[in-house]
Amino acid sequence: MAALYRIFSVRVAAVTSLTPHFVRVTLTGDALAEFSAVGLDQRIKVMLPIEGHGFTELPEDGDWYAAWRDLPDAVRNPLRTYTVRSFRPDAHELDIDFVAHGDAGPASRWVSGCRVGDELRIIGPRVPESPDELATGAAEFAPGTATRILLAGDETAAPAICAILEALDVATVGHVFIEVPTDADRLPVSAPSGVEVRWIARNGASHGVRMTDQVHAWASTVTATSGGGPSAVCADVTDFTEVDVDEQVLWEVPSPVDERPVYAWIAGEAGCVKELRRHLVRGVGLDRKQVAFMGYWRNGKAEH
């Protein structure tokens, strides 16, 4: 059986500047007929061209990863993680919303100069060959039967949060906090009427501070209202250990369980997610079975 995760050769069909810091790149290619959408916050790898080399030819199927790893540094195309903002299988089109954060990284650099027709590679799951062949490990949002949700993140999490919001059941209630660089970076998104969506503009403040304040306020309402009903808090935090976000990836996601009254999904800069994890789990005592904590990037460190 062919490997589930493969390389898809695609090209840029459209580049849309959404706001000062968000660029939507629409990718197309016949290969996308084989791409499999597996979840609302689905992550894929983007393989970027190397100046003067473009793409080294790698096998699309089979052990492309080993072949990629064995390439000399000078021709090993950088890989970065992005979210499938939307996928239109019939049109063979896939959108990625890139944060343009300057020239510091190959992905951000590429998006500032990309043009219609440019080639790109993405890595994701192909259509399963049999029903029991599941594409696991590519999406995390799993609220189960939770009736109250929290989604919180910075601009890198905005594409996932928007994709989740647009697909929520109309009866869902909850809060959403999305921190973006400026007022002009708020994106239009539809949400159920019981879900309050707050775009928080940083406008020069330190990364994550404003979103953190909002999540802390949300946490106090959860603890204040959990008495009597199904418990949202759990005082047992004896197994809590800090994560060194400069050495490890902060990725703590609960295994899918059906019965939880509250479900929280938090993603963004790893230092900020770490602080939120400490506050919510050790400070407030929120049950970790109810929260997904995901460090999407680390300030000062390139993704490897």
Ligand X SMILES: Cc1cc2nc3c(=O)[nH]c(=O)nc-3n(C[C@H](O)[C@H](O)[C@H](O)COP(=O)(O)OP(=O)(O)OC[C@H]3O[C@@H](n4cnc5c(N)ncnc54)[C@H](O)[C@@H]3O)c2cc1C
Q: According to the binding rule CB under 6 A, does residue 82 interact with ligand X?
A: yes
Q: According to the binding rule CB under 6 A, does residue 39 interact with ligand X?
A: no
Q: According to the binding rule CB under 6 A, does residue 86 interact with ligand X?
A: no
Q: According to the binding rule CB under 6 A, does residue 209 interact with ligand X?
A: no
Q: According to the binding rule CB under 6 A, does residue 141 interact with ligand X?
A: no
Q: Is 69 exposed, middle or buried (0-12, 13-18, 19+ CB in 10 A)?
A: exposed
The 10 Å Cβ neighbour count of residue 91 is: 11
Q: According to the binding rule CB under 6 A, does residue 83 interact with ligand X?
A: yes
The Cα 257–Cα 244 span in angstroms is 27
Q: Which span sits near ligand X by CB under 6 A: 28-36, 74-82, 124-132, 278-286?
A: 74-82
Q: How far is the CB of 205 from ligand X (least distance, A)?
A: 14
Q: According to the binding rule CB under 6 A, does residue 105 interact with ligand X?
A: yes
Q: According to the binding rule CB under 6 A, does residue 156 interact with ligand X?
A: yes
Residue from 97, 179, 185, 287 touching ligand X (CB under 6 A): that is 97
Give 172's contacts (C-beta < 8 A, 6+ positions apart): 147, 149, 192, 194, 195
How close are the terminal C-alpha atoms of the chain, in Å?
Answer: 29
Give 213's contacts (C-beta < 8 A, 6+ positions apart): none
Q: How far is the CB of 121 from ligand X (least distance, A)?
A: 15
Q: How far is the CB of 147 from ligand X (least distance, A)?
A: 26
Q: According to the binding rule CB under 6 A, does residue 296 interact with ligand X?
A: yes
Residue 93, beta-bridge partner list: 28, 88
Considering only the C-alpha atoms of the chain, give the largest distance between any 2 of them, rounded to a whole number of Å. Answer: 65
CB 38 within 8 A of CB 32: no
Residue from 10, 99, 165, 250 touching ligand X (CB under 6 A): that is 99
The Cα 127–Cα 161 span in angstroms is 24
Q: How far is the CB of 106 from ligand X (least distance, A)?
A: 4
The SS3 of residue 136 is coil
Which one-letter amino acid corresponds to residue 174? G
Q: How far is the CB of 160 from ligand X (least distance, A)?
A: 6
Q: According to the binding rule CB under 6 A, does residue 302 interact with ligand X?
A: yes
Binding site for ligand X (CB under 6 A): 43, 80-83, 97-99, 101, 104-108, 156, 159, 296-303
